[in-house]
A and B are shown apart, each in its own frame.
Chain A
Amino acid sequence: MSTLVYINSNDGLAKNALEAVTYGKKLGADVTVVTTGGADESTLASLGEYGASKVMVDRSVTTNDPGQIANVVKAAADATGASTIVFSHDFIAKAAAPRVSVKLKAGLVSGAIGVPEGNKVKVNVFSGKAFGFVEVNTATKIISLLPNSFQPEAGGSACGVEEFNGNAGEAAIKVIETKKPEGDIPLPEAELVVSAGRGLKGPENWGMIEELASELGAATACSRPVADIGWRPHHEHVGQTGVAIRPNLYIAAGISGAIQHLAGVNGSKVIVVVNTDAEAPFFKAADYGIVGDAFEVIPRLTEAVKKFKAAN
C-alpha cells in the first residue's frame, strides 16, 4: 500500500499542490510525490513537511504537456507500486489524469471533497448542487482532489529528492505564448473574491469593486450577463457555465443569485450578498446579507476594511 501524489512545480509550489500532499498523507499509507518542472531541490524537499517521504522529479518535462505528464506519472506508479494516485483537480489534472486512468486502467474520481471510505469517495456533482459517492472497481484508484477542500498541514520534516527518468517522450503540444496578467489574482485559486452583476449598471462602475478587491487582496469576478454583454472579460464569469470557485469569502454585489450563478459559487465558505431587493434569491444562500445600494454599501465596506487593516 502506497500513495503517489502528482504535483506540478513549474512555478514553485502552489497551495493546491500542498493540499494534495496533505490529502495523500491522510490516506494513511506512505506518500511519494512525483513532479515535473523546475523547482529546486530544497523547495521540493520541503514537501516532506506536508507528509511526503520522498520526491521524484523528472526535469525533462518543462511544459504542461498532458501526454508527457501522464507518461511520467505512469512510470512513477509502476516504480512505486502505488495503490492510490492523487492529483489536484486543476487545469493540468483535468488533462493528464484521464490519460493516466486509461493507461493504467484505473478508475478516476474527479472533484473529490473527502477521503475515501473503503472504496467510496465523496465528490461534488451537479455543479455543487449535490454530492455523490463514487465506488472505484479497480485495484488502483486515481483521485483528483477539488482545490480548497483540504487545507495544507505542515508538521513533518524535509524529505529526500531523487531525479527520476519517467520516459516522458516528446511533447505533442507546442507552447507559442504564455500570457499572465501582472498583479491579478487568479480566480480559481483566490481565497477571497469580490463579484458584481448587472446591478452595477455599467462597466464604468467597476472601480469600486476593484478597489474593495485590492483592499482585501481578493480576485474580482462577475455574473454571466455581465460577461456576455462585454462589461467584464469571460474568464471572470463565475457560475454553472463559467468558472466554479470555492473561496473562503465570496462578496456579491448587484447579483440576484439565479440558480446557475449559485452553482458556481455555492462551494464558498462564507457568502456576503449586497442587493437593493430584499427578495433577491441570493439572500437564501448567503451567510451575511445587506439590503442596500451597492453604490453606497461597497465604498463604505472598503473604508471599513481600510480601518480594520489599520487597526490590526
Chain B
Amino acid sequence: MKILVCISKSPDTTSKIAFTDGDTKFDENGVQYIVNPYDEWYALVRALELKEAGGGSVSIITVGTAADDAVIRKALAIGADEAVRIDAAPTDAYYTAMQIAEYAKSNGFDLVMTGKETINYNGSQVGGMIAEGMDVPFVSLASRLEVNGSTATLDTEIVGGIQTVEVSLPAVVSCAKGMAEQRIPNMRGIMAARTKPLNVVAPADIDALTSFTSYALPPAKSECKMIDPENMDELVALLHNEAKVI
C-alpha cells in the first residue's frame, strides 16, 4: 500500500504567540517549528504502523520553502521513506490542498492522511479539499483506522459518540487523538533521515481563495477573584449573580 502523509509545520506548543509588521505577520522571532502534532503523532505514526504490518511505503508531503526542510527531516526521522516538498509558500488551505491533490493524483496513492487540523490555523480544511480535488471519499476526525485489502474501517467522531464506518480506497483520512501513540525518533532514525530522498517539486498554477490580512491578541484577562475555600456558597452565588452562568 502506498500512503501519503501531509505534513504542516507549526510553532512549538509552548511558543509565545506574537505578531509583527503592524500585526500582519506571525512573529517568528525565537519560535521553534515542529511538525504539526496531529500530522505527526496520529497520521504519520499510524501510516508507519500500517506499513510495518502490511508492507508498502510511506511518503510525506508538504507545501513550503527550503526553510521548511528542517521540519521535513524531523518527520523523516520518525520513519517515512521519502519526502516531497512542493516548492511554494502555502498561501491558504485551498492553494495547499490543490497542490497536494495534483501530486497525489499523478502518483497513485491508496491512502492520503492528514492531521485533523493544524495547531496554528485550526481550519480543518486541507484534508476535505484534497479529497474533493482527487474526487475520492473523505473520512474526517478518525480515531482508528484499519485497512483490509481495498477497504478501510474507521472510527470517527460524531456528536456525542463514535461511528464506525467503512470506505473504499483510495481515500483521504484526517486523524485525531486515539489513532496512534507519539513516537520519539531515535538516533538511527535521525541519522537515516539525513540521506532519505527529499524531492522538491515545482508548484502547479493555482490561485488562493483567502488570505489572512491581520491578527490580534485577545484582551488581557481581568484579575482572578480569589474565593475562600471554606465558602463555596459564595462561589455559587457569584456564578449565579455576577457571572450569570448557572
Residues of A within 8 A of B (CB): 11, 14, 64, 66-67, 70, 89-91, 94-99, 101-103, 105-111, 120, 124-138, 172-181, 184-186, 188-189, 192, 216, 227, 234-235, 237, 240-242, 244, 248-249, 259-260, 263, 266, 269-270, 272-273, 283-293, 296-297, 300-301, 303-305, 307-308, 312
Contacts and interface: CB of A to CB of B under 8 A. Distances in A.
B210 A136 contact: yes
A287 B128 contact: no
B217 interface: yes
A107 B160 contact: no
Contact of B129 (A101, A128, A173, A174): A101
Contacts of A312: 240
B215 A287 contact: no
Interface in B143-189: 143, 153, 156-168, 174, 177-178
Interface residue tally on B, bucketed by range: 35 or more
A305 B214 CA distance: 43
A126 B128 contact: no
B235 A288 contact: yes
B22 interface: no
Nearest to B168: A172
Contacts of A307: 233, 236
30 contacts: A66-B140, A91-B140, A91-B156, A91-B157, A91-B159, A98-B124, A98-B138, A108-B93, A110-B122, A110-B123, A125-B122, A126-B11, A127-B119, A130-B17, A130-B215, A133-B215, A133-B216, A173-B167, A235-B178, A237-B177, A249-B243, A259-B13, A260-B13, A284-B224, A286-B221, A288-B225, A289-B227, A290-B226, A304-B235, A308-B233
Given A130-B216, A177-B164, A270 B243 contact: yes
Interchain residue pairs A-B with the least CB separation, the first 8:
A98-B128, A292-B229, A180-B161, A186-B160, A107-B209, A172-B137, A102-B132, A304-B232
A177 B126 CA distance: 27
A186 B159 contact: yes
A188 B137 CA distance: 25
User: Which of B92, B131, B237, B246 is most buried by chain A, counting CB atoms within 10 A of its CB?
Assistant: B246
Interface string B98-139: 100000000000000000110111111111110111000111
Contacts of B195: none
Contacts of B89: none
Main secondary structure of the interface of A (DSSP, over half): mixed
A273 B232 contact: no
Nearest to A304: B232
A204 to B, nearest CB: 23
Contacts of A260: 13-14
Contact of B38 (A120, A172, A234, A241): A241
A183 B5 CA distance: 37
Contacts of B158: 64, 91, 178, 180
A260 B12 CA distance: 10
Contact of A289 (B218, B226, B230, B245): B226
Contacts of B160: 180-181, 184-186, 189
B70 interface: no
A250 B125 CA distance: 28
Contacts of B122: 110-111, 124-127, 244
A90 B159 CA distance: 8
Contacts of B225: 287-289
Contacts of B92: 107
